[in-house]
Amino acid sequence: MKRTVPQLISLVAIIAGIALFVVTILGIDRTQTMNEVRRLGRTLPLVLLPGLGWHLLRAAGWYVCFPREERPSYWRVFRVRLAADGVGYFTIRGVASEPLRVVLLMGQVSPVVSAASSVLERTAMGIMSVVGVGLFAAFAVSSDILPPAWQSVFLGIAYTAGLVLLLSMLFLMRSGRYFGPLVERIYARTGWRWAGGRTVGAISRVEELFLKLARTDQRRMLLLVALAVACYWLMAVEVVLVFWAIGQPISLWIGTIVETFWRSASVAGGAIPGNLGALEASHVAVVNALGLAGGGTLALFRRFRSLLFATLGLALYPRDAVTARPPAAQ
């Protein structure tokens, strides 16, 4: 059976992830790691709090992105987001997450509204993550806690983040719409059916609402910025708590460096479902570079935390979504 290009890419990514995972596990001190894991287990409820806070804040970010007159309850938004991300966790770059968000809200919100709100939340949080990665990578380079080779790595991360941010700003600061007019011109010149179809029309309406939500409420955007910053720091605090639990206290600045490198590595490992192998290898590598032990324990905890919340999302998803009657199209 002949495989398609996406299937081949997925297969290669999975093989690479498994290889990274095996190499990383074989390279750590497994006896020491298991001892650290047992110590961590005694404080597990406390160490899980930043992860819970992260999910609560991300749900709040999506909640405020809805138009006020069509905003579902926060509890439903939280459950839908957790469930969709739980399914997306096992797919490449979480591609199943966004469509599932729309599906699980169809009984409450128009698909156009839920899709536009989801895109706005993802875009705002993504841009602020790039800003944080670029700034903290630049600060890490100017400090003396990284080996020379790793200073070059973080310098590359800072430059890449700056370039991505510049291109994003040039794209988003442009007035008018982007996708809709392009497709309309293609349809006017060619008459191709796909360019005038219902799916393309729906995407164009999502774009129009997304731009309206992003450009007409400055308070909403400022709140999204604040939530993104809080989420970044919560993940850095999580790193600090893990090392505190295993008896190797570190500063918040060290935790921020670890989180910055992981966010950069997660992009490179995005083709691997669940970042299998990439998560483990990146955490162990940066922790070793900082002259610390416990990288394996941190990686295993974050793997456990991700699986825990993915399972919780699958258990809490709103079951009435598949039977509820969707609102009229807008």
Domain boundaries, the chain: 30-318
What number is the average pLDDT over the span 110-115?
Answer: 89
First to last CA, the chain: 44
The pLDDT assigned to 38 comes to 92
The pLDDT assigned to 272 comes to 78
Burial tier of 3 (Cβ tally within 10 Å: 0-12, 13-18, 19+): exposed
pLDDT in tens, 143-182: 888 888 899 999 999 999 999 888 887 777 766 666 666 6
**% of the chain beyond a pLDDT of 90:** 44
The pLDDT assigned to 178 comes to 63
pLDDT higher for 175 or 28?
28
Phi and psi torsions of 67, nearest 5°: -55, 140
The pLDDT assigned to 79 comes to 93
What number is the average pLDDT over the span 123-147?
Answer: 90
What number is the average pLDDT over the span 105-121?
Answer: 88
The secondary element (H helix, E strand) that includes residue 16 is helix 5-27
Q: How far is CA 114 from CA 35, 37, 67, 326, in A?
A: 46, 40, 10, 12
In this prediction, residue 246 has a pLDDT band, given cuts at 50, 70 and 90, of: very high
What's the whole-number average pLDDT of the chain?
Answer: 84
The pLDDT assigned to 7 comes to 64
The pLDDT assigned to 73 comes to 92
Most confident of 43-47, 217-221, 318-322: 43-47
Asked if residue 213 has pLDDT above 90, the reply is no
Asked if residue 186 has pLDDT above 60, the reply is yes
The pLDDT assigned to 321 comes to 61
Q: What span, in angstroms and rounded, lies between the C-alpha atoms of 15 and 12?
A: 5
The pLDDT assigned to 52 comes to 96
Asked if residue 193 has pLDDT above 60, the reply is no
What number is the average pLDDT over the span 121-125?
Answer: 90
In this prediction, residue 266 has a pLDDT band, given cuts at 50, 70 and 90, of: confident
Amino acid in the structure at residue 57: L
Burial tier of 166 (Cβ tally within 10 Å: 0-12, 13-18, 19+): exposed
Asked if 306 and 274 touch (Cβ cutoff 8 Å), the reply is: yes
The pLDDT assigned to 271 comes to 73
